[in-house]
Structure 1
Amino acid sequence: MAIEQTKYDPSKHSDVEKIKVESDYLRGTITPSLKNPITGSVADDDLMLIKFHGIYQQDDRDLRNERRKQKLEPLYSFMIRARVPGGVASSEQYIQMADLATTYSSGSLRLTTRQAFQWHGVFKRNLKTTIAGINKSMLDTIAACGDVNRNVMSNPLPETSKIHAEVFEWSKKISEHLLPKTKAYHEIWLDGEKVESTQEPIYGQTYLPRKFKTALAIPPFNDVDIFANDLGFIAIEEKGKLVGFNVTAGGGMGSSHGDDSTYPRIADVLGFCTLDQVLEVAENVVKVQRDFGNREVRKLARLKYTIDRLGIDGFKSQLHEYLGFELAPAKSYDFVHNGDRYGWMQDENGNWHLTLYIHSGRIVDTEEKKLFTGLVEIAKIHDGEFRISPNQNLIISNIKPKIKAKVEKLLSTYQISIGETETPTRLNSLACVAFPTCSLAMAEAERYLPDFINRLDELMAKYSLQEQPINVRMTGCPNGCARPFLGEIGMVGKAPGKYNLYLGASHIGNRLNKLYKENINEKQILEALEPLLKDYSESRHENEHFGDFVIRANYIKAVNNGLDFHA
């Protein structure tokens, strides 16, 4: 299949594609936009380009109507996302990230489901200073958003495998290899010297048709939700040695309400690659998507649609042609868990690793708990790492035995949770930001999830299920930031107070859920769940998870292929 026969006609490219072509490799008019004192926003075309630099423009939707009445423009601010391969930061870096949050943003840090730091509420006048501060800490925001490969995820806990450190190094290598090479970031944000634009060796002039996500997993733990990613590498260990990776491709969570041409999809396993092939495979999967992805319709531009359009065999054939060799057959592996392991764990070197429970990744001080302040105090006495989990929690890693008691005292002083008092379902829940800052949100998520879990916990206790973990994923829209379509119970915002209810995903993240009830409120959701939970309590098999039960009991059909999601 020749590239020329399948490329999209440039004359039919979407407006976003034209913006990228005319941007001078992501420069656009960002610099004059930042200097414009008349507005708190940036120019329309720059709204797309700043994403490549790790920035989204937002406004406070709680204040939008009141400001409109006062004939004021929306209260524009910006979300900044740092690139943190594998989610690992030093204590010193964590202190610097927290300091930026208190100085320039809303006073909170947010941990994302992709193991990154986010700052919300940064005003335009503080953008350059904040990004310079991130860069000073030896982190950056390059390619944290935009139509490129984004933050590369990896299993965060070193105690889970002897090969963890090696796999983590591969996450950094892949992240660096797939970074855009334009110097625009350094010129705009760090006052670097202007250099002549050169061709991007991997991405070309138009970069990718849409965002691209990569993750690495170490069986038996699928905490990165490997099958939700465009590109995945499943570590294969033989006799205690990392020998290579099974390669997956075509995962993605986003869809659009009312449009059956869009759907979530779990990735296919393509085959096995050796360690010396990893970077070649990553680069050429990206290049196939670059050349074959849909550049006319953005909502159909992810790699999952490219694979379904070409067919999995056609995609593999094209990939093998680009590589110049074929992937070997996939090797056997097994996943048993995709959540976090809370509390204290000691490794073979005697160091401790502490996994904290943080609701929806929001690190903030409240009247009840001083989480933000407490974590900074812990960072001051700890010389190890702060690891962001793919489930929006934080792991304080490599704690020396001599300071363990001091850390425990700080946990108590600042009321920081290590998952001892929360129910298993609360510990297995995720939510996106949604209101008030996300422009796409149709309903609440982060702010509402705790109350919903309270109601769900009451219902589960009624049927003696309080110790049974159920994955609950809630998002304010169907774009899928909290991976809602991999939730055993998935709730996707449709309107204020209204959600689509999805059921039937697997507890280990290798099967999608399916629509069960549409556009219903909390009362209706709980009424729909109660008879299922009652039946589950009475009829479940030993060790059977809720997502598997609702399929076996014929409440919902299994969805193993995204093309069947709407069937």
Structure 2
Amino acid sequence: MSVDRETAVSHVEVIKREGNQLRGEIAEELINETSFFTEESIQQLKFHGVYQQDDRDLRKQLKKEGREKHYQMMIRARIPGGVLPAAAYLQFDRLAEEYGNKTMRITTRQTFQLHGVLKGDLKKTIAGINEVLITTLGGCGDQVRNILMCSAPHRSLFHQALRRDLLALVDELSAKTNAYHEIWLDGEKWQPDNRAAEEPLYGKTYLPRKFKLALAVEGDNCVDVYANDLGIVAHRDGETVAGYSLLVGGGMGRTAAIADTFPRMADPLTFVTPDQLIETCREIVKIQRDFGNRADRRYSRFKYLLHERGLAWFRDELSARLGRPLVAPRELTWEQTSDHLGFYPEENGRFALGIYVQNGRIHDTDRMKLRTVLREIMETYAPEVHLTCDQNLILSGLTEEQGEAIKALLLDAGVPLAEQLSNVVRYAMACPALPTCGLATAESERMLPDVLKEIDQLLAQLGLQNEVMSVRMTGCSNGCARPYIGDIGFVGRTIGKYDLFLGGDFNGARMNALYQELLPITQAVDTLRPLLLHYKAGRKSAERFGDYCHRVGFEALRAGTLAEAKDAQ
């Protein structure tokens, strides 16, 4: 990890520096006759919320036929805290139908992705998103990404204050370049003397890598706050915000073949009052801007800066920039990690209905017309929509009668209600992976449902069907579905083989650990069976599977599983 950063920078850093505040050649390439963008524009497009992909299912056949890849774009919006009106939801639905692959995907960061958009339709799609006052700037790229917040649709004065602070953070930490409007919207260019030479926060080269923030409410870690570069935990004092504890240095990505890359949980740093929040968060981002690794992108995330220089150095640097000593963070307690699904009252006399969306994919199948029924619900009842960090959605502001009517519509469309789901299915997550993600080395979204079905059957056979556990799967080691903090994590290494991680904390406050490398997914249930038997025989009252694996340790699990499995049979 030791690099002379004064002389060495990555190729991406050069592209950013020479890209004229995210303009590059995007506008010119949009109107040429090719179906794809060049590498320089691909890197610039990420800041605008766009990834160039191709249909990997078709690669081999197209290559055999001597044809180019089937290029398509993924567009990711930025929806702070995942809250949007029904009209905006319907606009995404329309754009998915007209320009995308007729599906919408809820991400693990509370926003929408549209897949399958062709280059020629890209500008119309982004302009359509902006028509409902939602942007894609900040959806991707080396900048602060979509900021998360507890998805529960609370209406208290306390939660209103949290929402205000969230939006203030978004405003402070967002890119200010006018390139986005020039390229995608009205096309009018500012005169050079009317715009700053560079971004006030980001400069010419923005951040070394992406930077993720999440705002949790103490007691409910539904946003997986420890998995973020900067975690913000709100402390409540009646109906006011007493302040925030800040956590730094979390991140899920690793490179499986490189031993000194790793996922990391955020460390408690300091407590700030509400009036100190914005300034402190801005200075934390600026330290990563100024000291983060710009030579090797594998080590450019904020967590590696903290690992290399230490938390004590970071405290001193932040304190010097703020001109005040840091106050110790408060001790945190987590009572739950709620998915906020089901039907329940809000504080204002209205009701909310949380709906499960498998792996976040909103589409119609032969057995379930999820996309169709959600469109009907939005058109008829116009609820406020809250996207969750578990890839589900919540309809807010309903009357009790509307909620009952909507539940009936869902059931008629083949959509299960939350209480009808098994716990394994309800708390599972997967990333998209193949065929669209260019980084994927294995299946995830298309694989997990079958794996969950087998795990469900196994738990039923063992009498453990009521146990609550989280199963998370990704198609590569980057960890978009946060597999490193699940009770069970499957991380794809190659087609059909996964690294198996065990021992996470269901409440998201502890990482799991690697139990077995390159496990054939066809052997997943056979591998889990003796472990679950061990758990059934040795668990304490109400102890969850991840907690049990962490307590007894892998050595004991490996030594005892076979013997205890035979005894249990």
- Is TM more than 0.5 here? yes
Superposition deviation, residue 527 in structure 1: 2.0
Mapped to 1, the partners of 2:425 and 2:168 lie a distance apart of 34
Which range is displaced more, 538-547 or 13-22?
538-547
Which residue of structure 1 lines up, in the alignment, with residue 243 of structure 2? 244
1:103 Cα deviation from its structure 2 partner: 0.7
Q: Is the 8 A contact 1:52 1:143 kept in 2?
A: yes
Question: Is 1:413 matched with 2:408?
Answer: no
- Tell me which moved more, 315-324 or 69-78: 315-324
Secondary structure of 2:332's counterpart equals coil
Give the conservation status (yes or no) of the 8 Å contact 2:156–2:347: no
Q: CA deviation at 1:525?
A: 2.2
Verify the 8 A CA contact 1:246 1:269 in the aligned structure 2: yes
What is the aligned partner in structure 2 of residue 374 from structure 1?
Answer: 373
1:128 correspondence with 2:120: no
> 2-side partners of 1:360 and 1:8: how far apart?
42
Equivalent position of 2:565 in the other structure: none
Alignment correspondent of 1:476: 475
Amino acid at match of 1:494: R
Q: Tell me if the contact between 1:143 and 1:180 (Cα under 8 Å) persists in the aligned partners.
A: yes
Give matches, 1:207-222, under 5 Å: 207-222=206-221
Instruction: Return the offset for 1:9.
Output: 3.5
TM-fit CA distance, 1:406: 2.8
Aligned to 2:458: 459
Which secondary structure does the structure 1 equivalent of 2:554 belong to? coil
CA displacement 1:452-508 (0-9 Å, x = unmatched):
001111111121111101111100000110001111100000111110101111111
Matched, 1:20 2:20: no
Question: Counterpart amino acid of 2:132?
Answer: S
Which residues in structure 2 correspond to 1:195-234 (within 5 Å)? Answer: 195=190, 196=192, 198=196, 199-234=198-233
1:54 equivalent to 2:53? Answer no
Deviates more, 1:184-193 or 1:353-362: 184-193
**Other structure's SS at 1:24 match:** coil
Comparing 409-418 and 471-480, the one that deviates more: 409-418
Q: Which runs of 5+ in 1 are unaligned?
A: 1-5, 559-567
- 1:210-252 superposed Cα distances (whole Å, 9 cap, x missing partner): 0000000012110100000001110011234211100111000
**Separation in 2, partners of 1:458, 1:402:** 36
Match of 1:78 in 2: 73
Shift of 1:339: 3.9
Which whole-Å deviations, capped at 9, do the CAs of 1:161-184 have from their partners, x for residues lacking one? 762222122222211211111101
- Percent of counterpart pairs with the same letter? 42
2:393 is matched with: 394
2:153 equivalent to 1:158: yes
Q: Which of 61, 81, 87 is the aligned partner of 2:82?
A: 87
* Matches of 2:509 and 2:515, distance apart in 1: 19
Equivalent residue, structure 2, for 1:563: none
Aligned mates of 1:24, 1:343 — CA distance in 2? 48
Normalising by structure 1, what TM-score?
A: 0.95
Cα displacement string for residues 265-317 of structure 1 (whole angstroms, at most 9, x for unaligned residues): 00011010011111101110100000010000101000000111110010111
1:33 to partner: Cα distance = 1.3
Q: CA offset at residue 381 of structure 1? A: 1.9
1:363–1:557 Cα change, 3 Å: farther
Summarize the Cα distance change of 1:178–1:427 in structure 2 as closer, same or farther, 3 Å threshold: same
> Match of 1:12, SS?
coil
Alignment partner, residue 364 of structure 2 = 365
SS at match of 1:177: helix
Question: Does structure 2 retain, via aligned residues, the 8 Å contact 1:272–1:328?
Answer: yes
Q: TM-score, normalised by structure 2?
A: 0.94
Is the alpha carbon distance of 1:52 and 1:422 closer, same or farther for their aligned partners in structure 2, counting shifts above 3 Å?
Answer: same
Q: How many residues align?
A: 552
Q: Is the 8 A contact 2:504 2:550 kept in 1?
A: no
Matched, 1:185 2:173: no
* Contact map agreement 1:551 1:557 (CA 8 A) in 2: no
Alignment of 1:471-550 (within 5 A): 471-550=470-549
Task: Report the residue type matching 1:517 in the other structure.
Answer: Q
* CA deviation after TM superposition for structure 1 residue 556, in Å: 6.0
**8 Å contact from structure 2 (residues 503, 547) kept in 1:** yes
- Structure 1 distance, partners of 2:403, 2:391, is 23
Compare 23-32 and 413-422 and name the one that shifted more: 413-422
Deviating more after overlay: 155-164 vs 176-185: 155-164
Corresponding residue for 1:564?
none
Displacement of 1:7: 11
Structure 1 vs Structure 2 CA RMSD: 1.7
Alignment correspondent of 2:93 = 98
Alpha-carbon distance in structure 2 between the residues aligned to 1:160 and 1:215: 19
CA shift for structure 1 position 11: 3.0
